[in-house]
Amino acid sequence: MAHSVRRDAPELPDFSLLKRLARDQLIYLLEQLPGRKDLFIEADLMSPLDRIANVTTLKQHDVDKLYKVEHKPIVSTSDQLCFLIRPRIKTVKWICDVVNADKAFGRFRRYKIIFSPQKFYACENLLEEQGIFGDVTTDEWSFYLLPLDDDIISLELPEFFRDYFLEGDQRWVRTAGSALHLLHSVYGPFSKVYGIGRCSKMAYESWREQVEEGEQRARQAEIGNVFLIDRDVDLVTPLCSQVVYEGLVDDIFRIKCGCVEFCPDVTSSDKSIKVMLNSQDKVFNEIRNEHFSQVFGFLSQKARNLQTAYDKRSGMDIKQMKTFVSEELKGLKQEHRLLSLHIGASESMMKKKTKQDFQELLKTEHSLLEGFEIRECISYIEEHINRQVSMVESMRLLCLLSLTENGLLPKDYRSLKAQFLQSYGIEHLLTFSNLKQLGLLVEQQPGETLTVMESRVGKLVNDKTAGKLTDAFSSLAKKSNFRALGRRLNLVPKSDEEYDLRVPRDMAYIFSGAYIPLSCKLIEQVLERDGWTGLEEVTRMLNGHEFAVTAGSNGSDARVKTDSQRIILVMFLGGCTFSEISALRFLGREKGLKFIVVTTAITNSARLLESMLDNHA
Amino acid sequence: MIRGKPDEDDYWNSSKFKAFTFDDEDDDFTRLKESKRAVNSIRSLVEEEDEEDDVEKVSWSGEPVGRKAKTGSFQSFSESFGDPSIRNYAPELRKPKSEYKDYVSDWTPEETVKRMQQGKVYSLEKFRSLQDKLLLLDEAVNAHDGNVITAVLIYLKKSLSKEILFRELITREIALRHYIHYLKEIGEQKLLVELFKSMDRTEDMALMQYRDHLNVRDENKKRDFLKNCLSFPFSPDDATHVQDHYTLLERQIIIEANDKQVESSGQADIFKKYPRKASILNMPIITTLYYSCFYHYGESDGTFSSPANIRKTFRISDKQFLLTCLGARAKLKAWFDVDALFTTKNWLGYTKKRSPIGFHRIVDILQKNNAPVQVLQDYVNLVEDVEQKISLAQKYKCHDVIINTYRDLKDRQQLIVYRGKVERGSSEYRKIEEILSNSQLRWKN
């Protein structure tokens, strides 16, 4: 089941360099506040920080005590406080309170804020308004990219999705451009850039500007092609239940920054353990991309092999035993540990899924994707809501229904919304408003309403802004056109055909053969056609903003050039799922390519939908 | 448009900006301010030259942490710049961000926006005419940099009356959304409400104000707040929901006060037997209904806490009511109540069991609430689909149902098979024996 890598598949570039860069810059920044200091770290920066430095590193640079930012009054007695934070108004406000409390107390300290990955004017403005600009020095830690694995790099910015797609705030566009710029300067020059989506286009332009601003050095490219994609080009895929091992682990246990915490239930001991999940884990590496139904068989085979390896001991003489212990035993023990961990995880996931009638849930999802027996699906969702089963799951199904059906009939929308509010709380009115704004859950509109509105507003303003308005309106009333796209791109294979999950024939295997993820299919098509030619109808349905640009590299060595050409960096703006990564790995194996996924964050249906909730004060 | 002096214009047109600010000779102020930091960097630049040919020597991975302290941390930072591939990026890392603000310049909107993006010195004070301000805003929007768009908006917020700013934002959707998000983040609720009002976005305004109830902790204050919300211009559907929200909390407060008192006085058995785990305040409607079916079953529909009253007030569907009620009564093992839920009388006075949802679902729910076989089998019997009935009966070991079904199907073979599965000599075994030996029956096999 471990797929043999095609002989000519190119090697991936070494991304550990990015970690080194980030760590060294952090050390440099800490040195900018000489002497002993306490360091306050934003909660969601802690795991990324863990990946590149450890406490000892910090202590060696005069960090005395470490605190997590908790938005509460502080207890530090240090004369110097350093804050390592995301550029968020809420956190800066808290720092203002800390500083002003000190001032009121007549206490003198030195303060430094290190914003990661960059600072925002709005934050500095707040410092100014709160009268502490100047009392506090600020810096930027350009920690744009965290390599999570050999082929996954994350910006660790989960708020990107909400900020851009819901609020319409473009604050992270340049950040994405800078991240791309960093990759380009270290692993480029890129020769071709493809993309789709408004944000992708802007990020691309921002990157180009930064390239022009800086000096260019000729070097051998390690990454040839780049594909940029907005998350809202394909919202269906991240809302589907994940059934590939790594995705399922993420759905159930939530992988955080490449690390998962397995509960006692999995470890069959009395405590939870944290496990890094990446290609270093040999057992995990072989099952991560597999459909869950295949995993058990693989693990038990593995267990039998392990037993045989252990059994070799009997009948060994002393010398053989010595070699065995020194050469094999450690490896076997390690494998044993990993094996029992993943077996435990699989069992625990099986139990959880059986309890929630997973099969029936998947059946409904597949019917929605296929556009089959929609009334039955609606009753299923209704009952799900009525029984007050998981709120996020109910919301997920509603959104899938809306996305695949181009919106709900007004009657259904009203009734399902009312029942949802009854079951999960009326304050979710706000959630519904957000879902509507983003186009995740909408009511079907009579066709002409929009154009009437557009032309009415259009008359009031000049042409240039009218264009922008049209943009804004069309994004508001964006149709997913899922059925038409599905037909055009053959996303939903015929259900009457048997699908052998042991020998996947296409990327649909990541959803049990029921659906080829739109995002990955687009990437496949564009790479195959070397552009968007022939996909005009598809891009029109996806609301356009597609591009394909030759960035003009003049690689000296033709062989190197072809090698780097087969390394493709795919950047997801707004997050991507482990299932999509698995699909791309599959595609890579099929085509002799290597994909590197750069994402603003690893996402899944729960994270995506939770970011739509407004119930935090 | 803002026009600079001709010679300066020439300069700007001819020279390219570089990200590396040390090389920037554009303004002396910046240089002065930065000179101190620049001195620090010289050392690293010099070392960079030395190490250029010797990249591989500097390997960090696996190196003991202690060594770095020895070499000196500043030096260690610079070492990573030895790799030429990183050097493109290196100037970005060390780019000093000047905080000098009081500088008068003649930068065009385009130049200003560019400088802001690069974190260089800039000045907005000279954009004083409305036209200049708007040019600056449009330029920021064209640059797609949300950070800069917001920065310009903050300046416009300070230097324009809100009426004028609002008016201009109507036709600038992208800037408008940034402005709304900024106001949300800094918590300028009042201004937001005014903004929505001026733009006739009344539903947004209503929701925005409604959202604030989340910040009210005290339940009485929250109820009053929600009451106040009733007059907001929601869409008709949402207005109904907000009305429900108010009514719900109002009743929850009454029920909570009453039940708390009853519980602590020890008057009612139900609270003694099943002490309340949490307060009912701020729970969803369905949870409230469940609570009511649990603690207040059988109360007359005149009382706020009765299931019937809640059902009527919040227009709860039959299906939903049944599901919730069933859950609550099954939890209490009140099988008689469960039975009554499905029993209907026709005009002749015959009783019949009916359900708005499939009986296989009912069985499922009852089973999850640990209903005994005697109860379960009544409902398994009501499942219409024979195959489904048998599979459920087998799953939950309802022998009578299985035996009777096979008998009714006249399926002798299946009955014999089933006899092999039950315990010899048990009552169900005897029952099968009895049926099989009944000569009156005409078997189909």
Mind listing the pLDDT tens digit for each residue in B356-371? 888 888 888 888 888 8
**Rounded CA gap, B260 and B252, in Å?**
12
- Least Cα separation, residue A428 to chain B (angstroms): 10
Cβ contacts of A103 within 8 Å, gap of 6 or more: A132, A135
- Least Cα separation, residue B312 to chain A (angstroms): 13
Instruction: Give every strand in the sheet of A110-115, ordered side by side.
Output: A63-68, A37-41, A80-85, A110-115, A136-140
pLDDT higher than threshold 50 for residue A130:
yes
Q: Which residue has 């890598």 as its token pair?
A: A5
Which chain B residues are closer than 8 Å to A419 by Cβ?
Answer: 317, 320
Which chain B residues are closer than 8 Å to A421 by Cβ?
Answer: 241, 244, 284-285
**Model confidence over B173-203: pLDDT tens digits?**
999 999 999 999 999 999 999 999 999 899 9
Q: Which of residues 548 through 577 in chain A touch B, CB cutoff 8 A? A: none
Q: Find the CB nearest B245 among A31, A163, A426.
A: A426
pLDDT higher than threshold 80 for residue A520:
yes
**Cβ A440 vs Cβ A475: under 8 Å:** no
Nearest CA in chain A to B214: A617
Find which of A120, A171, A201 to mutate to test the B interface (most B CBs within 10 Å of its CB).
A171
CB contact under 8 Å between B210 and A210, yes or no, is: no
**Model confidence over B332-355: pLDDT tens digits?**
888 888 888 888 777 777 778 888
Report the amino acid identity of residue A190: F
Beta strand pairing call for A146-149 and A152-154:
antiparallel
**Cβ A519 vs Cβ A571: under 8 Å:** no
**Rounded CA gap, B329 and B352, in Å?**
20
Q: What is the pLDDT of residue A615?
A: 66
Beta strand pairing call for A192-196 and A546-550:
antiparallel
Give yes or no for B185 touching A (CB within 8 A).
yes
DSSP one-letter code for B16: P
Report the amino acid identity of residue B126: K
Among the listed residues B120, B152, B121, the one whose alpha carbon sits nearest the alpha carbon of residue B138: B152
**Model confidence over A193-215: pLDDT tens digits?**
999 999 999 999 999 988 888 77
C-alpha distances in Å from residue A114, one per residue of A30, A175, B184: 9, 16, 24
Other beta carbons less than 10 A from residue B423's beta carbon: 9
Three-state SS string over B172-197 comes to CHHHHHHHHHHHHHHCCHHHHHHHHH
Nearest CA in chain A to B176: A168
Lowest mean pLDDT among A263-267, A522-526, B243-247: A263-267
3-state secondary structure of A510: helix
Other beta carbons less than 10 A from residue A411's beta carbon: 9
Cα B215 → chain centroid:
17
pLDDT higher than threshold 60 for residue A558:
no
pLDDT higher than threshold 90 for residue A598:
yes
Go through A464-492 and write b for each residue having 16 or more CB atoms within 10 A of its CB, e for each that does not.
ebbebbbbbbebbeebbbbbebbeebebb
3-state secondary structure of A90: helix
Among the listed residues A65, A18, A41, the one whose alpha carbon sits nearest the alpha carbon of residue A115: A41
CB contact under 8 Å between A174 and B144, yes or no, is: yes
Give yes or no for B360 touching A (CB within 8 A).
no
**Cβ A29 vs Cβ A56: under 8 Å:** no
Which chain A residues are closer than 8 Å to B285 by Cβ?
Answer: 421-423, 426
Lowest mean pLDDT among A188-192, A270-274, B37-41, B438-442: B37-41
Nearest CA in chain A to B284: A425
Cα B388 → chain centroid:
38
**Rounded CA gap, A139 and B94, in Å?**
10
Q: Find the CB nearest B182 among A122, A187, A202.
A: A122
Q: What angle do CA A515, A260, A600 make, to 5 degrees?
A: 60
Which chain B residues are closer than 8 Å to A56 by Cβ?
Answer: 65
**Cβ A598 vs Cβ A157: under 8 Å:** no
Which chain B residues are closer than 8 Å to A142 by Cβ?
Answer: 92-93
Q: What angle do CA A275, A262, A298 make, to 5 degrees?
A: 80
Give yes or no for B318 touching A (CB within 8 A).
no
Give yes or no for A421 touching B (CB within 8 A).
yes
pLDDT higher than threshold 50 for residue B22:
no
pLDDT higher than threshold 80 for residue A501:
yes
Find which of A18, A89, A169 to mutate to test the B interface (most B CBs within 10 Å of its CB).
A169
Report the amino acid identity of residue A329: L
**Cβ A510 vs Cβ A582: under 8 Å:** yes
Average pLDDT of chain B to the nearest whole number: 78
**Cβ A191 vs Cβ A171: under 8 Å:** no
Summarize the confidence of residues A98-102 as an average pLDDT.
92
CB contact under 8 Å between B85 and A170, yes or no, is: no
Summarize the confidence of residues B272-292 as an average pLDDT.
92
CB contact under 8 Å between B19 and A172, yes or no, is: no
Highest mean pLDDT among A113-122, B112-121, B436-445: A113-122
Q: What is the pLDDT of residue B354?
A: 83
Give yes or no for A212 touching B (CB within 8 A).
yes
**Cβ B307 vs Cβ B284: under 8 Å:** no
**Model confidence over A135-152: pLDDT tens digits?**
999 999 999 999 999 999
**Rounded CA gap, B30 and B11, in Å?**
18
Q: What is the pLDDT of residue A522?
A: 95
Highest mean pLDDT among A278-282, A430-434, B294-298: A430-434
Which chain B residues are closer than 8 Å to A113 by Cβ?
Answer: none
Beta bridge partners of A546: A196
Among the listed residues B357, B366, B315, the one whose alpha carbon sits nearest the alpha carbon of residue B337: B366
Q: What is the pLDDT of residue B401?
A: 87
**Cβ A258 vs Cβ A277: under 8 Å:** yes
CB contact under 8 Å between B88 and A185, yes or no, is: yes
**Model confidence over B87-146: pLDDT tens digits?**
444 444 444 445 444 455 678 998 889 889 888 888 888 898 999 999 999 999 999 999
CB contact under 8 Å between A122 and B147, yes or no, is: yes
- Least Cα separation, residue B390 to chain A (angstroms): 20
C-alpha distances in Å from residue B130, one per residue of A62, A460, B105, B136, B152: 50, 19, 18, 10, 13
* Phi-psi group of A269: left, alpha or beta (phi > 0 → left; psi -120 to 50 → alpha; rest → beta): beta
**Cβ A353 vs Cβ A571: under 8 Å:** no
CB contact under 8 Å between A426 and B284, yes or no, is: yes
Q: How many CA atoms lie within 13 A of A209 on its CB side?
A: 21
Go through A532-556 and write b for each residue having 16 or more CB atoms within 10 A of its CB, e for each that does not.
beebeebbebbbbbbbbeebebebe
Among the listed residues B382, B276, B273, B371, the one whose alpha carbon sits nearest the alpha carbon of residue B326: B371
Q: What is the pLDDT of residue A585?
A: 95
CB contact under 8 Å between B84 and A219, yes or no, is: yes
3-state secondary structure of A196: strand
**Rounded CA gap, A29 and A118, in Å?**
13
| Kind and range of the H or E run holding B399 | helix B399-409
| Size of the A and B interface in Cβ pairs below 8 Å | 215
pLDDT higher than threshold 80 for residue A21:
yes
**Cβ A578 vs Cβ A602: under 8 Å:** yes
**Model confidence over A313-335: pLDDT tens digits?**
777 778 777 777 777 777 778 88
Lowest mean pLDDT among A339-343, A364-368, B40-44: B40-44
Q: What percent of chain B has pLDDT over 70?
A: 76
Summarize the confidence of residues B44-52 as an average pLDDT.
40
Q: What is the pLDDT of residue A132?
A: 92
Per-position DSSP letters for A300-337, written without gaps between them: HHHHHHHHHHHHTTTT--HHHHHHIIIIIIHHHHHHHH
Summarize the confidence of residues A252-277 as an average pLDDT.
88
Cβ contacts of B246 within 8 Å, gap of 6 or more: B223, B226, B227, B229, B230
**Rounded CA gap, B220 and B226, in Å?**
10
Find which of A213, A430, A442 to mutate to test the B interface (most B CBs within 10 Å of its CB).
A213
Other beta carbons less than 10 A from residue B318's beta carbon: 11
Beta strand segments in A434-590, E: 546-550, 567-573
The C-alpha R_g of chain A, in whole angstroms, comes to 26
Q: Find the CB nearest B241 among A138, A168, A421.
A: A421
- Least Cα separation, residue B268 to chain A (angstroms): 28
H-only helix segments in B234-372: 236-265, 269-273, 285-295, 307-313, 318-331, 335-342, 359-368
Q: Find the CB nearest A24 among B80, B84, B245.
A: B80
A394 phi/psi in degrees, rounded to 5: -60, -45
Q: What is the pLDDT of residue A289?
A: 92
A493 phi/psi in degrees, rounded to 5: -60, 155
**Cβ A578 vs Cβ A237: under 8 Å:** no
**Rounded CA gap, A454 and A469, in Å?**
8
Give yes or no for B353 touching A (CB within 8 A).
no
Give yes or no for B67 touching A (CB within 8 A).
no
pLDDT higher than threshold 60 for residue A221:
yes
pLDDT higher than threshold 50 for residue B51:
no
Among the listed residues A267, A334, A139, the one whose alpha carbon sits nearest the alpha carbon of residue B93: A139
**Cβ A78 vs Cβ A115: under 8 Å:** no
Q: What angle do CA A437, A440, A444 make, to 5 degrees?
A: 85
Question: Where is pLDDT greater, at A391 or B408?
Answer: A391
**Tokens read off for A384:** 């799900």
